[in-house]
Amino acid sequence: MRINQPIVNNKIKIAPSIISADLTKLDEEVKKIEESGADIIHIDSYPLSIFAFEYNRLGRFAIGHFLLDFLRRRTSLPLDIHIAMERELDYIEKCIDLGADIISFHPEPYKDPMKVVELVKERGVKLGLGVTVSTDLESVFGLCRYADLITVVSANVNFAGKIRLEDASDKIRKARELCGDKVDIAIDGGVNPETIPLFVRSGANVLIVGRYFFGHKDYRKAVIELKRKALELLKPP
């Protein structure tokens, strides 16, 4: 481990963000993700119609639960559904029923986020906490002991969706310091071979990848490149 670099015991994991895939060829995309050696499929759950699409082969709209159901029937890879807004407990429970392996939610909008924590833990799936570059980590610190994953989102609607790399790096470092090295820490947004050193040196070990992964001609090579770059940073000096 390099000097001043946080200790991370967990291996590097690659999590393609399915919203960046070619959603008109989702069967093919899922197969290619599996063959690539990726570790997790990341599923964003956004408000209104942002996450709605129609894929020709099924001839129906897929939004939220429909997409999760579609993926669960076609892959054994862990599915992390990132709930980026306040949703009722019934919605979250339905996600678990449909096969989500990780429920990642942002505690800030909830009056009582412990109800979400308790539901997820009772159902025996992993709990993820989502934080943005503007999140006060001290305010959610009490929930960290329940978390299996902390997801740092580098873009924030408060900043017109601009990716804030340095702020995200600082947030990752603080999350690692607060939560220790038994928790996975993910970075969501702006991940590519050039930005990996910033994120991994700060303590991230789960790389959520959208445009870089799905824009690559060979998904397997993309995973190899990303993991090689990350693991080089974790070698002893």
The residues facing 128 across adjacent strands are 104, 149
Strands 149-153 vs 41-45: parallel, antiparallel or unpaired = unpaired
Please compute the mean of the pLDDT values over residues 199-218 and round it to a whole number: 96
pLDDT tops 80 at residue 234: no
Q: Which of 181, 192, 223 is nearest to 5 (CA)?
A: 181
Dihedral sign for Cα atoms in the order 75, 42, 19, 45: positive
Q: Is the pLDDT of residue 235 over 90?
A: no
Domain ranges of the chain: 13-233
Checking if the pLDDT of 204 tops 90, the result is: yes
User: Taking the CB of residue 39, how many other CB atoms lie within 10 A of it?
Assistant: 17
Please tell me the predicted confidence (pLDDT) of residue 7. 37
DSSP state of 25: G
- CATH architecture assigned to 13-233: Alpha-Beta Barrel (3.20)
- DSSP β-bridge partners for residue 130: 151
59, pLDDT greater than 70: no
Confidence of residue 66 (pLDDT cuts 50, 70, 90): confident
Radius of gyration of the chain (CA): 17
| Contact (Cβ atoms closer than 8 angstroms) between residue 198 and residue 169 | yes
If one compares 206 and 5, the residue with the highest pLDDT of the two is 206
Q: Which amino acid is at 90?
A: D
pLDDT of residue 58: 35
Q: What is the pLDDT of residue 158?
A: 45
Nearest one of 91, 75, 89 to 26, comparing CA atoms: 75
pLDDT tens digits along 143-186: 998 999 999 999 764 444 467 889 999 999 999 998 888 899 99
Q: Which residue do the tokens 């470092």 mark?
A: 173
Strand order across the 206-209 sheet: 13-16, 206-209, 184-188, 149-153, 126-132, 102-105, 79-83, 41-45
pTM recorded for the entire structure: 0.87
Q: What pLDDT does 67 receive?
A: 85
